[in-house]
Structure 1
Amino acid sequence: MSYGNRKPHFVLVPLFAQGHMIPMIDLARLLALQGVAVSVVTTPRNTARFKAMIDRANAAGLLIRFIEFQFPCTEVGLSEGCENVDLLPSGDLAKTFIAGLSMLREPLLLHLRQQCSKPSCIISDACCPWTSEVARELRVPRLVFHGPSCFFLLCTHNVSKHKSGGHLADEFEPFLVPGFPHKLEVVRAQCLKFFELPGWEKLFAEVAEAESMADGFVINSFRELEAAYIDGYQKALGRKVWAIGPVCLSIKETCDKVTRGNTMNVDENYIRNWLDAKETGSVIYVSFGTMVSHSASHLIEIGLGLEASKRPFIWVIKEKEMWPEVASFLSEGFEERTSSRGLILRGWAPQVLILSHPSVGGFMTHCGWNSTLEAVSVGVPMITWPHFFDQFLNERLVVEVLRVGVALKFNMFIRRVADDAEGLITREDVEKAVTELLDGGAEGEERRKRAKELAEKAKKAMNGGSSCEDLTLMIRHALERAGEASDAQEP
């Protein structure tokens, strides 16, 4: 794109959580590829996770830089270094973390005022409503970046707007979502907006107010996947919604796929060689994102189910999940019994690299939207086990609408899977789901075909198609609004 004498400058403000930062960094690359200068607000520990990737982008001529601030850990009562949600010792500290994040408002405003020219646009994570004040004081447009699926966004918007289910004594009593493109029966407990919880009323109101003043909304999806929901959401909001994803497809180089989000404990070549030795479509990849944490009993049931399935598998276990019982289970027979067909990765895993390998035929996932889109982008069917928030509705989209997934254990009657939950899934559930996904007869073949077709549509959307068009329109809209604001300030 041609911008005249002045290169546009977009400032991106993510929520410091990997599920939010990773797509925001991908968005930064997409903008830079369009000739936009991009600054990403971050902190030292978050910078370290993405520095190698951004250094390579800059070496390739892309203009992406970090605006790095010290996170106010001490001021809000957090231990030093708690600069990302996944570094918090307890989920109970989430509200404290959000309060700390909002304290970056003044440093960011001061920094941007000190620059030679003000930014063209601020793109903020929906969970950072304080950026609305920054944009207003600088008189620049602000776009809201939404991480979840538009299926989730439209459903929760309509439920919240119409107060459906508010009269229900039982939050698990099913009801139909009003104004949805098709019949969808939900329970109130699984269709709440983010922060729509007791004790979070103030932040929920701030997010709603900030969204009401936004100049538009950016979502990580593509029209061929969610056209009806994108159109419905745009109509419901009365403002533009641009679908510019799947942003994970902006990552082309293997080294970027490996370092996208963090560093791992295993050499990439070891993983690639392991996968190269397996038959096409034979491996089940098991990973539940950065936030989900399982009890020891659930991890052991997953392991025994994978063993009983007799299928090759890659299983990612987070360091915080290495309970003594789990360590004993792995070392006292399990790893030895499955050594010929199982690979256990402890800590961070290069998910995009793994999913894109031809040997991977299925993905057992928590249905986080990033993971879901990464699977869709490479045509890998899913076994779904949602744990909280948008994941339950993402499962409905994957299993019931797109029909590219198998539910591990479809259960409408739970708000969230707690860390210490017991007995929700069994080894028999895991074995059955793996077998159904990787075999499944004619139905399984149709599922795999649909997944491959969606992957082709995703690639076309990002390669000159609908998502490229929306990205161009979004940049143009932001610059037009910036120009209008500048003209309004002329004496």
Structure 2
Amino acid sequence: MGTHSTAPDLHVVFFPFLAHGHMIPSLDIAKLFAARGVKTTIITTPLNASMFTKAIEKTRKNTETQMEIEVFSFPSEEAGLPLGCENLEQAMAIGANNEFFNAANLLKEQLENFLVKTRPNCLVADMFFTWAADSTAKFNIPTLVFHGFSFFAQCAKEVMWRYKPYKAVSSDTEVFSLPFLPHEVKMTRLQVPESMRKGEETHFTKRTERIRELERKSYGVIVNSFYELEPDYADFLRKELGRRAWHIGPVSLCNRSIEDKAQRGRQTSIDEDECLKWLNSKKPDSVIYICFGSTGHLIAPQLHEIATALEASGQDFIWAVRGDHGQGNSEEWLPPGYEHRLQGKGLIIRGWAPQVLILEHEATGGFLTHCGWNSALEGISAGVPMVTWPTFAEQFHNEQLLTQILKVGVAVGSKKWTLKPSIEDVIKAEDIEKAVREVMVGEEGEERRRRAKKLKEMAWRAIEEGGSSYSDLSALIEELKGYHTSEKE
């Protein structure tokens, strides 16, 4: 049986966390499995289901794939959340993160009932469902963990957790190195989550410990990356840290048509034709795209500095600004007459933007990003150099990968890990302008762009038949089939 053999006898269930940054790549991964003839089911909740239905119907129509959605009811009110609060972005907007995680934990019983009924061959569980491996163990179903992190970030996080190198420095701004990694990687204590650097036991630190526990109990991890991008860290994770891991990315590249690219995630706030028309009127590599992801939060004074910097840089730009940014009147953060002055030069999209479509357009020559791994990898796959602006989660590690190791990024100078930026954390317009210029113009910028384009070629090769990610997915499917048959014997 070759890697192409269809495996309808194999049923893999996906259980993504209820946040766009987790659901979007999970849908792409499910599509990849389905394209190999594996029956796939995605578990979600009523108000998140619409994000999957259109894509699944389209996939089913165009191919013979078996893709299903299983809808669990979400216990928002039981956990003290308002009715209808079913994803993390909504919860973060009202400061109810912990209630949201508690609600997600209450899905355990529904999951176990579903597993009893369907007996799938494997569950791909999001890292935040830290109890998933205990549930699957009852039915002897292997669990694969999906973090949504790069190999590098997984290695860096583990080294930080084991060796606590930030304890060796005497101030929050003193630089320390991460021990034992293949490259010298530097950071400061400010870039470490506060509860971790203060050694406090909080919801955050307890959750991190439970995620590590889930990894220990699981069959292995699925990584949205490709071997050639971070070979030293793929090896380090497997050999030094003893993790079983399969790289199957960049998963966003399974979206080939303009429609697929435009419709990933939520309903876009701009018509894709309008967006493409604007980009088509620009020279190659002349536009910088700015987006801070689905959960990052920016305050109005910071938006004002970004607006000022973009105008001063003289670059054409597309800027996706979420509706909840800037608090209150969305125009207060824009300098007077801004959009009128920059008509044709800058396009502001209020709300969700068709990111992959924009990044892959030849006019786009730079990406100012919060360094969430989905965005970073989409930038890499599009061959676009980046201005890096991490704020929380594992984003500072992704910045280190982009700037210190791959050398396709320029740091804007974000210094502090925080979920709630304050006025002291505001990065000044001149620093933003400098980083934008560095990425968009000049000889070093060209060098960076060449490196980025090379990574893009590698990314596309990895997912083609015979490529490293294609082959790793084949190996994983074969292994799951083997697990299944050895169980029967």
In the superposition, the TM-score normalised over structure 2's length comes to 0.93
Residue 162 of structure 1 is matched in structure 2 by: 163
Quick one: distance in 1 between partners of 2:292 and 2:5? 42
CA contact (8 A) 2:299 2:421 kept: yes
- 1:318 equivalent among 316, 322, 328: 322
How many angstroms does 1:374 deviate by? Answer: 0.2
- Judged with a 3 Å threshold, the aligned counterparts in structure 2 of structure 1 residues 11 and 452 are, in CA distance, closer, same or farther, namely same
Quick one: distance in 1 between partners of 2:185 and 2:168? 19
Q: Spell out, residue by residue over 1:124-175, the C-alpha distance to the aligned partner (whole angstroms, 9 max, x if none).
A: 1111112112211111111111211111110111221223334655455432
Quick one: distance in 1 between partners of 2:420 and 2:295? 11
What value does the CA root-mean-square deviation take over the aligned residues?
A: 2.1
- 1:51 equivalent among 38, 50, 53: 53
Note the 1:257-406 alignment, pairs <5 A: 257-324=261-328, 326-330=330-334, 332-406=336-410
CA contact (8 A) 1:225 1:454 kept: yes
Residue 466 of structure 1 is matched in structure 2 by: 468
Aligned partner letter, 2:143: R
- 1:11 equivalent among 13, 16, 34: 13
Q: Spell out, residue by residue over 1:309-359, the C-alpha distance to the aligned partner (whole angstroms, 9 max, x if none).
A: 121111111000143464135484011011121111011111001101111
Residue 148 of structure 1 is matched in structure 2 by: 149
Quick one: distance in 1 between partners of 2:33 and 2:194? 28
- Judged with a 3 Å threshold, the aligned counterparts in structure 2 of structure 1 residues 197 and 8 are, in CA distance, closer, same or farther, namely farther
CA contact (8 A) 1:121 1:482 kept: no
Please say if 1:121 is aligned against 2:91. no
Quick one: distance in 2 between partners of 1:52 and 1:449? 37
Quick one: distance in 2 between partners of 1:463 and 1:5? 20
Quick one: distance in 1 between partners of 2:268 and 2:49? 16
Quick one: distance in 1 between partners of 2:285 and 2:354? 18
Please say if 1:435 is aligned against 2:437. yes
CA contact (8 A) 2:220 2:245 kept: yes
Residue 418 of structure 2 is matched in structure 1 by: 416
Residue 24 of structure 1 is matched in structure 2 by: 26
In the superposition, the TM-score normalised over structure 1's length comes to 0.93
How many angstroms does 1:409 deviate by? Answer: 2.0
Q: Which stretch shows the higher mean deviation, 421-430 or 394-403?
A: 421-430
Quick one: distance in 2 between partners of 1:210 and 1:129? 5
Quick one: distance in 2 between partners of 1:9 and 1:85? 28
Quick one: distance in 1 between partners of 2:456 and 2:470? 16
- 2:486 equivalent among 474, 484, 487: 484
Please say if 1:83 is aligned against 2:86. yes
How many angstroms does 1:4 deviate by? Answer: 7.9
Quick one: distance in 1 between partners of 2:438 and 2:362? 19
Aligned partner letter, 1:398: L
- Judged with a 3 Å threshold, the aligned counterparts in structure 2 of structure 1 residues 108 and 321 are, in CA distance, closer, same or farther, namely same
Aligned residue for 1:46, secondary structure, equals coil
Note the 1:242-253 alignment, pairs <5 A: 242-253=246-257
How many angstroms does 1:447 deviate by? Answer: 0.7
Aligned partner letter, 2:114: H
Where structure 1 has 5 or more consecutive residues not aligned to the other structure, the ranges are none
- 1:237 equivalent among 225, 238, 241: 241
CA contact (8 A) 1:365 1:371 kept: yes
How many angstroms does 1:106 deviate by? Answer: 0.8
Quick one: distance in 2 between partners of 1:16 and 1:89? 12
Residue 96 of structure 1 is matched in structure 2 by: 99
Q: Which stretch shows the higher mean deviation, 124-133 or 282-291?
A: 124-133
- Judged with a 3 Å threshold, the aligned counterparts in structure 2 of structure 1 residues 197 and 227 are, in CA distance, closer, same or farther, namely farther
- Judged with a 3 Å threshold, the aligned counterparts in structure 2 of structure 1 residues 6 and 403 are, in CA distance, closer, same or farther, namely closer
Q: Spell out, residue by residue over 1:62-102, the C-alpha distance to the aligned partner (whole angstroms, 9 max, x if none).
A: 21111111110011010111111011154642121111111
Q: Spell out, residue by residue over 1:19-41, the C-alpha distance to the aligned partner (whole angstroms, 9 max, x if none).
A: 11111111000000111000111
Quick one: distance in 2 between partners of 1:141 and 1:453? 37
Q: Spell out, residue by residue over 1:176-234, the C-alpha distance to the aligned partner (whole angstroms, 9 max, x if none).
A: 22211122223345356999974124433322222111111111111110110011011
Q: Spell out, residue by residue over 1:233-285, the C-alpha distance to the aligned partner (whole angstroms, 9 max, x if none).
A: 11233232111111011111111111111102221111010111111111110
Aligned residue for 2:184, secondary structure, equals coil
Aligned partner letter, 1:104: L
Quick one: distance in 1 between partners of 2:139 and 2:432? 53
- Judged with a 3 Å threshold, the aligned counterparts in structure 2 of structure 1 residues 422 and 315 are, in CA distance, closer, same or farther, namely farther
Quick one: distance in 2 between partners of 1:78 and 1:334? 39
Aligned partner letter, 2:455: L
Aligned partner letter, 2:30: A
Q: Which stretch shows the higher mean deviation, 337-346 or 178-187?
A: 178-187
Q: Which stretch shows the higher mean deviation, 326-335 or 361-370?
A: 326-335
CA contact (8 A) 2:183 2:405 kept: no
Quick one: distance in 2 between partners of 1:198 and 1:302? 36
Quick one: distance in 2 between partners of 1:328 and 1:26? 38
Quick one: distance in 1 between partners of 2:335 and 2:47? 32
Quick one: distance in 1 between partners of 2:176 and 2:337? 47
Quick one: distance in 1 between partners of 2:52 and 2:278? 26
CA contact (8 A) 1:121 1:479 kept: no
CA contact (8 A) 1:158 1:177 kept: yes
Quick one: distance in 2 between partners of 1:105 and 1:219? 24
- Judged with a 3 Å threshold, the aligned counterparts in structure 2 of structure 1 residues 2 and 370 are, in CA distance, closer, same or farther, namely closer
CA contact (8 A) 1:105 1:131 kept: yes
**Count, aligned residues:** 482
Aligned residue for 2:162, secondary structure, equals helix
Quick one: distance in 2 between partners of 1:373 and 1:426? 27
Quick one: distance in 1 between partners of 2:4 and 2:188? 49
Aligned residue for 1:432, secondary structure, equals helix
Quick one: distance in 2 between partners of 1:15 and 1:48? 15
How many angstroms does 1:2 deviate by? Answer: 5.9
Aligned residue for 1:242, secondary structure, equals strand
